[in-house]
Structure 1
């Protein structure tokens, strides 16, 4: 039988893949999860809105825990009652966008957020 993007992945496979593919994510209680630290409410809302846009564009929706200075993302494919390739794909896109730092990828072109606590909103890993 050929595996499809909707097939649930065994916990052993998930636990083996996460350190290689998504090192800041972990597997717990049937979900892959990630905690993003922010500098406060404004940063938290920016992270939530970014994740919301990506999830809607993918038509695959995470569960979120939202607090003053952090956001926890939980992914599993609800219809399949487990983690699938869809979850890994969306997690990679979320990670790529939230952790993007303009000055590192486009030095001299994009300035990036100033190194000043008044403007920092995400605490990068």
Structure 2
């Protein structure tokens, strides 16, 4: 993993090449398209989709950095770009990393938490 130099300002914009390289190193399920970093979370249905939307909403509000969301029955696409800076900044990478950490979290081996049963009735997120 490459050690990325923080920009001198939280609003300093990364080049497209820097964005692509940083996503590859740090957020491999995210991609860069049309000036946004994006991630599509596939769910098993509407209730699960709302759980993802609410999680992203909480994190974005706490960070005071708000994504655009495309919400459908069985997926949520998160799009991040720093509107004020008109590009991708450290704020976008930081929020994307936190969203990824929380939405994709599952209990580890040896955890007292069991995790979602391996049964289609209870699955809600389609993990990568």
Using the size of structure 2 for normalisation, the TM-score is 0.92
Which runs of 5 or more structure 2 residues have no equivalent in the other structure? 1-6
Secondary structure of residue in 2 paired with 1:15: helix
Secondary structure of residue in 2 paired with 1:88: helix
1:63 matched to 2:55? The reply is no
- Judging by fraction of residues, say which structure has more helix: 1
1:25 matched to 2:30? The reply is yes
Which runs of 5 or more structure 1 residues have no equivalent in the other structure? none
CA displacement at 1:116 relative to structure 2 = 1.0
1:14 matched to 2:19? The reply is yes
CA displacement at 1:65 relative to structure 2 = 0.1
Q: For 1:79 and 1:18, locate their aligned partners in 2 and report how far apart those are by CA, in whole Å.
A: 21
Moved over 4 A (4+): none
How far does the alpha carbon of each residue in 1:40-67 deviate from its partner, in whole angstroms, 9 at most, with x for none?
Answer: 1011000000000000000000000000
Q: Which residue matches 1:109?
A: 112
> Aligned-residue CA RMSD in angstroms?
1.1
Using the size of structure 1 for normalisation, the TM-score is 0.94
Count of matched residue pairs: 122
